[in-house]
Amino acid sequence: MHPLKKLPKSIATVSLSGTLADKLEAAAAVGYEGVEIFEADLLAFDGTPRDVRKMVADLGLEIFMFQPFRDFEGLGPAQFQRNLDRAERKFDVMAELGTDLLLLCSNVQPHAEGNPAQLTAELSELALRAAKRGVRIAYEALAWGTHVKFWRQAWDLVQRVSQPSFGLALDSFHTLSLGDSLAGIERVPGEKIFFIQLADAPKLSLDVLSWSRHYRNFPGQGDFDVAGFTHAALAAGYSGPLSLEIFNDNFRAGPTRPTALDGLRSLIWVEAEAGRTELPEPPALGGVEFVEFAVDARAGAALGRYLAAMGFARAGKHRSKAVELYRLGGVNIVLNAEPDSAASEHFALHGPSVCALALKVNDVPRTLARAQALLCPTWAERTGPGEHRIPAVREPDGTLLYLVDEVASQQMWGADFDLAAHVPVAASALPRIDHIAQALNPGSMDRFILFYRTLFNLVPEPTIEYADRFGLVRSRTMKNTTGSVRIPLNISESPATETARFVAAGAGAGVHHIAIATPDLKVAASHSTEAGMAPVPIPANYYEDLEARFGLEDEQLREMRHHGILYDRDAGGEFFHAYLPHFQGRFFFELLERHGYQGYGANNAPIRLAAMARKLTTA
Ligand SMILES: O=C(O)c1ccc(O)c(O)c1
Ligand SMILES: [Mg+2]
């Protein structure tokens, strides 16, 4: 069997920020084949439709559709004549634009009539007029249409009209937001589906109009089965463009090109998820092989002391670079002070901070091939003779994600480092990394979700919100199925929260804290305290409340309080965690003991935030 043809990729101009020229340039630069021109973008453009046509053609793009045409049908004879005139004017514009497809949205006027015979007669006349002008009409059921809300109602009218110039537009948002069934889409003749618009959205309890106008996002960023929707339309035989139509406040405010790139990545992914194309499989993840900090000599020495106080051993020095290895059980931390490297560039921009993570994957070349297919930038650091070359992909914030397989994991430390005489062998047992939390720029949550989901098949957990003293923080954790990789993503729109200040002070997003799972948290906390770095103290009130909520034993509570240990419980089990003071007011470490518990102690976040802030101001 021939592999099926890839479908052209398109984006509606409303999905991107900037001027019409910005939007078109971005769409062309990242590699779309064409666009839907949204009328508002044309009206605001200081030039003729012919100028737009030329700009689009010069960029190598195509205009797949002009949209929207609204509130046409069901308004009575007088208005019908005016609406036909209005349609003719739009046909003129389309002739100049050089596109033959016009989107017609179902009428949303409260007084619109829903009589099928009347609608059929009016839409038939429109179809005839369109045909005379070489135009085709794609009729779309808006979820909040007065009478026509469901794709099946629009399809019913398309069948009644029964003209080659009149077909169906399917928009995943309208169908999936109403929880409407996809059954039957695959039996619509493919050539009667004139256009497909794809949008995802988070599940929200909100009126559907506001939901659609503000919270749509790219396939893979929300909770809808956009792949299932796409699969149904492709099963019908649709072979036109896959087009993104996203109304989203963050997209309107965000950078044009990165958003355009996210969109294309999402389309490439959803086309594969729908079974149309094949992508190299996502890797099975085996956890975090190492965390790398960008430092200079002074910050490296200070961070080395900080790590030693947590019980890390200085385990080796890189053979050819200013790079050191610290190790605690299965946790490897690399301090990179090499001049003229990705790390030094990161240091110059952000100060001491995590510049790279290494993920254990079962197949490095396949993961790289997947990254390339999904348009994720890759990176290879220069290496000395005999040293391991570790390929990496770049996260949206620039952090490198190295890809390490089992063989590299076994060999690279010995090959690249002069290991200390008594280094503990890297153990796969505890302590190990439990999760790595990142603080993101406002508006960029969807970008990171898309990256981790499409490339590594990490799944977003539900959004958690918690109160900082100075605002709200929203958190979503990306997790693989085994839980060996967990990446909480935190965002705050309020400028004074710990999360927001981290982003501001470090000149951007990045790793905000690293949580290490230990076999016995009390022991780990004692060691750290003896070495000069006690966990952040927690107020007595907290333990009073714990006793009331969970009925813990006095002795246990006393010990927990002594070590600054917080507690939570869920259906799966118990969770103990404690926080070490910030390193130079920046990132910090969490020590934890997990017994079947699945969360991250979000209930305790306000307590630890207040405690850590106190510690910062008194330190
Ligand atoms: O929100 C709207 O009005 C609107 C317009 C055009 C569309 O294709 C759509 O899905 C929604
Ligand atoms: Mg639409």
Q: Are residues 290 and 251 in the same domain?
A: no
Q: Are residues 105 and 161 in the same domain?
A: yes
Q: Which residues contact 243 (CB under 8 A, 6 or more apart)?
A: 9, 10, 11, 12, 36, 64, 65, 195, 196, 197, 198
State yes or no: 387 annotated in a binding site.
no
Task: Tell me the pLDDT tens digit for each residue of 209-219.
Answer: 999 999 999 99
Q: Which of 30-39, 89-98, 138-147, 425-434 has the weakest average pLDDT?
A: 425-434
- Structurally, how many domains does the chain consist of? 3
Task: Tell me the pLDDT tens digit for each residue of 236-275.
Answer: 999 999 999 999 999 999 999 999 999 999 999 999 999 9
Task: Tell me the pLDDT tens digit for each residue of 146-174.
Answer: 999 999 999 999 999 999 999 999 999 99
Q: Are residues 180 and 133 in the same domain?
A: yes
Task: Tell me the pLDDT tens digit for each residue of 550-595.
Answer: 999 999 999 999 999 999 999 999 999 999 999 998 999 999 999 9
Confidence of residue 427 (pLDDT cuts 50, 70, 90): low
Separation in Å, CA 135 to CA 107, 165, 226:
20, 7, 29
pLDDT of residue 384: 78
Confidence of residue 617 (pLDDT cuts 50, 70, 90): low
pLDDT of residue 67: 98
pLDDT of residue 508: 85
Ligand 1: which of 10, 72, 105 to mutate, judged by most atoms within 8 Å of the beta carbon? Answer: 105
Q: Are residues 188 and 86 in the same domain?
A: yes
Contact status, residue 256 vs residue 18, Cβ threshold 8 Å: yes
**Ligand 1 atom closest to 174 (CA):** 10
441 dihedral zone (left: phi>0; alpha: psi -120 to 50; beta): beta
Nearest Cα to 175, choosing from 203, 200, 150? 150
Q: Are residues 259 and 123 in the same domain?
A: yes
Nearest Cα to 171, choosing from 144, 198, 152? 198
Ion ligand 2: protein residues whose beta carbon lies under 5 Å: 171, 197, 245
| Interval 67-78 mean pLDDT | 97
pLDDT of residue 580: 97
Task: Residue 221: give the domain boundaries.
Answer: 9-273
From 396, 419, 442, give the residue that closes a domain. 419
Statement: residue 425 has pLDDT above 70? no
**Ligand 1 atom closest to 171 (CA):** 10
In one-letter notation, the amino acid at residue 297 is A
613 inside domain: yes
| Interval 138-150 mean pLDDT | 98
131 inside domain: yes
Statement: residue 3 has pLDDT above 70? no
Q: Are residues 237 and 359 in the same domain?
A: no
Q: What tokens appear for 330 in the block?
A: 């299965």
The neighbour count for residue 284, using CB atoms within 10 Å, is: 16
pLDDT of residue 426: 58
pLDDT of residue 619: 44
| Interval 336-340 mean pLDDT | 96
437 inside domain: yes
Alpha carbon of 245 to ligand 2 centroid (Å): 6
Task: Tell me the pLDDT tens digit for each residue of 378-388.
Answer: 998 777 788 78
4 inside domain: no
| Interval 92-104 mean pLDDT | 98
The neighbour count for residue 115, using CB atoms within 10 Å, is: 10
Q: Which CATH number characterizes residue 366's domain?
A: 3.10.180.10
Alpha carbon of 47 to ligand 2 centroid (Å): 26
Binding site membership of 71 for ligand 1 (Cβ less than 6 Å): no
pLDDT of residue 428: 58
Ligand 1: which of 142, 213, 216 to mutate, judged by most atoms within 8 Å of the beta carbon? Answer: 142
The percent of the chain in helix, strand and coil, each rounded to the nearest 5, is 40, 25, 35
Q: Which residues contact 546 (CB under 8 A, 6 or more apart)?
A: 552, 557, 560, 567
Q: Are residues 155 and 49 in the same domain?
A: yes
Query: What is the rounded distance in angstroms from the CA atom of residue 225 to the CA atom of residue 209?
Result: 19
The Cα diameter of the chain in Å comes to: 92
| Interval 532-554 mean pLDDT | 95
278 inside domain: no
Task: Tell me the pLDDT tens digit for each residue of 463-481.
Answer: 999 999 899 999 999 999 9
Query: What is the rounded distance in angstroms from the CA atom of residue 440 to the CA atom of residue 606?
Result: 19
As a whole number, the mean pLDDT across the chain is: 95
Q: Which residues contact 89 (CB under 8 A, 6 or more apart)?
A: none
152 burial type by CB count under 10 A (0-12 exposed, 13-18 middle, 19+ buried): middle
DSSP output for 339-363 = TTSHHHHHHHHHSSEEEEEEEEES-
Query: What is the rounded distance in angstroms from the CA atom of residue 26 to the CA atom of residue 33?
Result: 12
Statement: residue 286 has pLDDT above 90? yes
Alpha carbon of 166 to ligand 2 centroid (Å): 16
5 dihedral zone (left: phi>0; alpha: psi -120 to 50; beta): beta
In one-letter notation, the amino acid at residue 30 is V
Alpha carbon of 39 to ligand 2 centroid (Å): 13
pLDDT of residue 216: 98
From 238, 273, 308, give the residue that closes a domain. 273
